[in-house]
Amino acid sequence: MEDLTQEEWAEQLATDDNAVILDVRTEAEVADGIIPNAIHIDFYLGEEFLDKVDELDKSKNYYVYCRSGNRSHKACLIMEELGFDNAYNLEGGMLNWTGDVVDMY
């Protein structure tokens, strides 16, 4: 698990052919927009969050974000415990994100 600044996260993601972007915010937060190509699994789902994350391909590199970076940091730690080798947390989350955002729906 690694915390990356906005710049590091965007640069690393841009050159990563094995990347998956994971949004762990709530439905209400996601309604405000999502980073393009992100998949959404709400961190607050508890056991369901664990089950859904555990089903993901552990050979991929996961770029994880939330609103401020706190939940995504915790999500990365959980992913590490579940056997994921590469989980990268976006420091500052969507509050500091300056990149593209699209409507999920």
Active-site pick, 20, 66, 78, 79: 66
84 versus 104: which is more confidently predicted?
84
For residue 46, what are the domain limits?
Answer: 2-96
* pTM metric for this prediction: 0.95
Structure tokens at 1: 């698990």
Distances (CA, A) of 70 to 17, 44, 55, 95: 26, 12, 23, 11
Q: Is residue 76 annotated as part of the catalytic site, yes or no?
A: no
Return d(Cα 91, Cα 70) in angstroms, integer. Answer: 8
User: For 20-75, what is each residue's pLDDT tens digit?
Assistant: 999 999 999 999 899 999 999 999 999 999 999 999 999 999 999 999 999 999 99
Q: 101 lies in a domain?
A: no
At 60 the three-state DSSP class reads coil
CATH code assigned at 73: 3.40.250.10
Q: How many domains does the chain have?
A: 1
In the block, residue with structure tokens 């955002």:
101
Return d(Cα 76, Cα 84) in angstroms, integer. Answer: 9
